[in-house]
Amino acid sequence: MKQVVVDSCTSLYCVLGDPISHSLSPVMHNSAFTHMGYNGVYLAFNVKDKNLASAISGIKALGIKGVSVTIPHKVEVMKFLDNIDEKALKIGAVNTIVNKDGKLFGYNTDCLGATNALLEKTAIKDKDVVILGSGGAARAIGFGIVSEGGRLTILGVLKDEGENLAKDLGVDYYHLSEFKNIDCQILINATPVGMTPNTKAMPVQKEDLKKDMVVMDIVYNPIKTSLLKESEGIGCITADGASMFVYQGAAQFEMWTGKKAPVDIMRKTVLYNLRNND
């Protein structure tokens, strides 16, 4: 492992979100930079909705070379970018920004991260899939599910947002309270419910889970959310958010640096930190 010295040539990367204190993006990407001997540093910035435009201007002004975008900015950030990748446009959300000579280009690596993580556990084609939530992450995952041939239904509590997402994907939307009346083989939580520090919260009721479901939670901190614990307790196959998080982060690393991401190092770093936080 090469020692990286921070100097005037160090490239700066960051994540923008609110909240952001839980994020493991800094330790994951910094471990990758160090392992590769790449002269880069990755920081976390808590950015409120009202300050997003200023933050994006700051990226250009400071020459920040790459940015991760997380809750709640993945959709809103699009209006401030110079160019958006066709796939991200179709998804309707951006989680990755690349600064190319002062022009900001938006991409989405959540879609790839989610489908790769889910395919480790189950086939998606011709399966009945329910996604909880209708924000930027749900958009990316929903796009991936439909692309893989899954039969998708969106459930949420924000009617306008949920109906817009369902319309964009050509699927049905129902209020979250209807979950108990909908049969599904794959359940995906794409909301922040259950995330640190509110680790006891669940997006659905335990009694509405069924043992033949595959349950995925995109929340990765804690690694075992209450939803996953309850699901495992009744015999469900589960997929935690760490795999999706690492896959999407590896894609970001490669976009930013042009180097092959050290996926094993990134995964080990994330899992080590998650287990120590459990």
Which residues have a catalytic role annotated?
A: 74
HSE, side-chain direction, 13 A CA sphere, residue 124: 24
Give the Cα separation of 196 and 225 in Å (integer).
Answer: 9
Q: What residue type is 22 in one-letter code?
A: H
268-272, Cβ contacts within 8 angstroms, sequence gap of 24 or more: 269/24, 269/27, 269/28, 269/31, 269/32, 270/24, 270/27, 270/28, 270/220, 270/242, 270/245, 270/246, 271/223, 271/242
Beta bridge partners of 41: 12
